[in-house]
Amino acid sequence: MGCLIMLLGASWLSACGARDRPRLEVIRGYAMGTTYEIRYAGKPGELPPRTTIEAGVAVVLESIDLAMSTYRADSEVSRFNRHASTAWLPVSADFATVVTEALRISEWSGGAFDVTVGPLVECWGFGPNGGTPRVPEPAEIAKAMARVGYRHLHVRPQPPALRKDIVSLELDLGAIAPGYAVDRLAALIEQHNISDYLVELGGEVYARGHRPDGGRWRVAIERATVSGGEIETVVELNGVGLSTSGNYRNYFERDGRRYSHLIDPLTGSPAAHQVAAVSVVAASTMRADALSTALLVLGESAPPLAELEGIDALFQIASPHGIEVHRTRANRRAVKKNPAG
């Protein structure tokens, strides 16, 4: 997660007043420690009351927060983290769905993606209670590593439940839950028979259909520079999710090395490489979210893997000459370079 994108196309907001033309509605708010924005379009007589959508959005976001927020003591994830037992703990179907996908991406990435990595994130000072990033003593890293490992986490779909075989195992779904939330919000919009919409939460986006002016929904991916504000590329989205995972703000440098806020669970240390950002387009935003994090942890070995697996990914790699861009074949097919308008 991280606001590494810009939504484009605000200029036509005022241009759609006529009765028969599609109207644009925009709902903005704050959830899961970040901001969200939902845009949808339709003929005025065909759209449900805006308050109906707003109420639905609130219900969806509250249910996800109650399942997956580590900031709430009463959430399912907090209960699981406190659960000092190796017995199954019943959870909601939503929670089990997200953990199932997380474990799939863990296997796929050879353990680079791991939602049990929290103790290591804390240890390097990147966590919510972490203070400032620092290089911990090897003994501290070893202690944290003993409590990390997706293989100690088990999920079952029916009845949905989680189990751990190390009682101090903890979950942090920060690298996948925002993408899941976007998919749930998109499903909510679809339930109201709206087929032209864009949903964004914390930089994770899903869009389908058209803007009121007939164009596709477009999102700018930011160039991965510390100062920000420059556009690297513009992506048109239709029935797919986009996620960017970036290192270029949240990192620290020591002895000329760049330490990411993403920790490589296999070494117990921050992924230290020159890949500054990875953007992934996938059928679901949840998958794009998890994959972008996984590929960023993998670093230099990620572009060939993404190519081999047919993933639509754009890598921004820091070099002495600035940011170099590497696109997989699937990305070159899908992304329009400098689309007009």
| Binding positions for ligand AMP, rule: CB under 6 A | 1-2, 112-115, 117, 121, 172, 174-175, 245, 262-263, 265, 289, 293, 297
Q: 163: how many CB neighbours lie within 10 A of its CB?
A: 17
User: Residue 114's binding partner, choosing from Mg ion, ligand AMP, none, with beta-carbon cut-off 5 to 8 A by kind?
Assistant: ligand AMP
Taking the least distance from each CB to Mg ion, the nearer of 97 and 245 is 245
Taking the least distance from each CB to ligand AMP, the nearer of 121 and 221 is 121
User: Residue 113's binding partner, choosing from Mg ion, ligand AMP, none, with beta-carbon cut-off 5 to 8 A by kind?
Assistant: ligand AMP
Whose CB is nearest to ligand AMP? 174
User: Residue 119's binding partner, choosing from ligand AMP, Mg ion, none, with beta-carbon cut-off 5 to 8 A by kind?
Assistant: none
Q: How far from chain centre, in Å, is Cα 282? A: 12
The answer to whether the CB of 237 falls within 8 A of the CB of 231 is: no
Q: 181: how many CB neighbours lie within 10 A of its CB?
A: 30
Footprint of Mg ion (CB under 5 A): 175, 245, 289, 293
Alpha helices in 161-284 (DSSP H): 177-191
Taking the least distance from each CB to ligand AMP, the nearer of 197 and 259 is 259
Place of tokens 């009845």: 159
The answer to whether the CB of 220 falls within 8 A of the CB of 231 is: yes
Residue 271 CB, nearest distance to ligand AMP (Å)?
8
User: Residue 169's binding partner, choosing from ligand AMP, Mg ion, none, with beta-carbon cut-off 5 to 8 A by kind?
Assistant: none
Q: How far from chain centre, in Å, is Cα 134? A: 25
Rg for the chain (alpha carbons), in Å? 20
Residue 175 CB, nearest distance to Mg ion (Å)?
4
The answer to whether the CB of 267 falls within 8 A of the CB of 234 is: no
Residue 248 CB, nearest distance to ligand AMP (Å)?
12
Taking the least distance from each CB to ligand AMP, the nearer of 289 and 312 is 289
The per-type count for the chain, helices as H runs and strands as E runs, is 9, 18
Residue 77 CB, nearest distance to ligand AMP (Å)?
12
The alpha carbon dihedral of 101, 107, 110, 111 has a sign of: positive
Alpha helices in 83-217 (DSSP H): 93-108, 118-123, 138-145, 177-191
Residue 244 CB, nearest distance to Mg ion (Å)?
9
**Any bridge partners for residue 257, and if so which?**
254
User: Residue 22's binding partner, choosing from ligand AMP, Mg ion, none, with beta-carbon cut-off 5 to 8 A by kind?
Assistant: none
Residue 27 CB, nearest distance to ligand AMP (Å)?
23
Taking the least distance from each CB to Mg ion, the nearer of 293 and 328 is 293
CA pair distance 198, 206, nearest whole angstrom: 6
Residue 119 CB, nearest distance to ligand AMP (Å)?
11
The answer to whether the CB of 249 falls within 8 A of the CB of 226 is: yes
Residue 126 CB, nearest distance to ligand AMP (Å)?
7
CA pair distance 119, 209, nearest whole angstrom: 42
Taking the least distance from each CB to ligand AMP, the nearer of 16 and 220 is 220
* Closest to 162 (Cα-Cα) out of 108, 107, 93: 93
User: Residue 115's binding partner, choosing from ligand AMP, Mg ion, none, with beta-carbon cut-off 5 to 8 A by kind?
Assistant: ligand AMP
CA pair distance 81, 66, nearest whole angstrom: 14
DSSP-derived 3-state class of residue 214: coil
Taking the least distance from each CB to ligand AMP, the nearer of 2 and 22 is 2
Taking the least distance from each CB to Mg ion, the nearer of 53 and 296 is 296
